[in-house]
Chains A and B, each alone.
Chain A
Amino acid sequence: MQEVQITVIDVCGTVKELVFPTRLGLSLMEALKSAGYPLEAVCGGMALCATCRVEWQEGAVSEPNEAELDMLDTLPDQQPASRLSCQIRLESLTDGQAILRLNPTKF
């Protein structure tokens, strides 16, 4: 699969469809930032800050690793669908598409 199509619902409810190439080895966090979404992602992708959190809605995706699960578990308002976008590689979206909602909290 050369590219993935990601439907992003931002904090105001605006829906946008984005297409990213998978060959660059980007994380979803990096892709969303490059598309102009204001994710803070202060830790830069180490699963340490949860400021890149998204709520997963649809699409096959890799399971969270231990570091991500540990971080998600510390969040006071974790949802069952919460994911850290920095821990998701675009190439792991095996359906080639996904729908996600950005999370407004600034942890």
Chain B
Amino acid sequence: MLETDVCIIGAGPVGLFAVFELGLLRLKAYVMDTLPVVGGQLAEIYPRKPIYDIPGYPSILAGDLIDRLMEQIAPFQPGFGLGQKVVGLEAVEGGRWKVQSENGEVVLAGAVVIAGGLGCFEPRKPDLPGLAALEGRGVTYMIRDPEVFRGRRVVLAGGGDSALDWTLQLSEIAGDLTLVHRNSSFRGAPESAARVQALADAGRLRLLTSTALVSLEANAAGNLSSVTVQTQGQPAWSLEADDLIPLYGLTPQLGPIADWGMVLEASAIQVQTDNFQTSVPGIFAIGDINTYPGKLKLILSGFHEAALMAHGAYRHIHGGAKPSFKYTTVTGVNGL
């Protein structure tokens, strides 16, 4: 088990800057994120988009802002648990918290800071009856090791880049491969679409465009046995399958945060604005995930919230003691 002063959930810009503000108060931080990289949506969704409202930068690319933040927090040597989805949060003795990830990593922290942004990015699921019961029994949303599909009858669904890329990869591995796409054409990379079409023409895979998933059928053991599909203007039919992989992109979900007992308002965590603590003492929330009167979902507001949170977290960890306030111009970053 890992021990730290503060566990930050979310490695977006605000979670990263929180490391800095905590560091100024000599609090060690451990940052966890579902995504395998730091930067949150700035890295995952719009790394090449310019941001115009970061003070001191007339324009900065989202990805560059993350690089700068990583440079800025480096002196504080934060720990990182990336690709770790936090699923459990449990109060332990002394006002401390036990944070647990899906993969079983456990972090013991004096305070927890939720900087979860839009929430966790989770796979978007098709609306099919009985889908949940077949998850892990043939229905899967992420391909970690393509080899597990060797020789199997696989149905992929979706029309974006990841559906096309995985179709190309699995065409060498799967025993029988079908790509189902609701539209008549693909919006993914044209060269990938052309290669998928060529493989379909060569009989290496089944390409069903203008086709919708209708229902799923299971065998006696409760595993997926077939997928019923319907091409526009034609009757529905069943396609025998061992695996269905819906690839409809990711969508932000509040996720397990909703189960941790904090007061929420319209999918955001209510906080007090003097220290950005939630309704649960020792749990703080900063950035896009929180709400309070006058809240603006701006990176710069999140930075401000991080500074006040750090002082609140210090008091929580040090039994109410007030940290001494210093300017970095006077003391540098290690001068406390």
Contact = CB atoms under 8 A, between A and B. Distances in A.
B251 A76 contact: no
Interface in B119-164: 119, 124-127, 157-160
A100 B158 CA distance: 26
A29 to B, nearest CB: 14
A73 B297 contact: no
Contact of A77 (B126, B187, B249): B126
Nearest to A51: B251
Given A73-B160, A73-B187, A49 B252 contact: yes
A50 interface: yes
Contact of B124 (A38, A44, A75): A75
Main secondary structure of the interface of A (DSSP, over half): loop
A76 B297 contact: no
Given A40-B267, A42-B252, A49-B118, A76 B125 contact: yes
Contacts of A75: 124, 248
Contacts of B158: 74
B52 interface: no
B336 interface: no
Interface residues of B, number: 26
A50 B251 contact: yes
Given A42-B118, A42-B119, A43-B118, A73 B183 contact: yes
B186 to A, nearest CB: 8
B8 interface: no
Given A42-B118, A42-B119, A69-B187, A76 B267 contact: no
A76 B126 contact: yes
Interchain residue pairs A-B with the least CB separation, the first 4 = A74-B249, A76-B126, A73-B187, A76-B248
Interface of B: 41, 45-46, 118-119, 124-127, 157-160, 182-183, 187, 213, 246, 248-249, 251-252, 266-267, 288, 297
Interface of A: 38, 40, 42-44, 46, 48-51, 69-71, 73-78, 105, 107
7 contacts: A40-B267, A44-B297, A48-B45, A51-B251, A74-B124, A76-B126, A76-B248
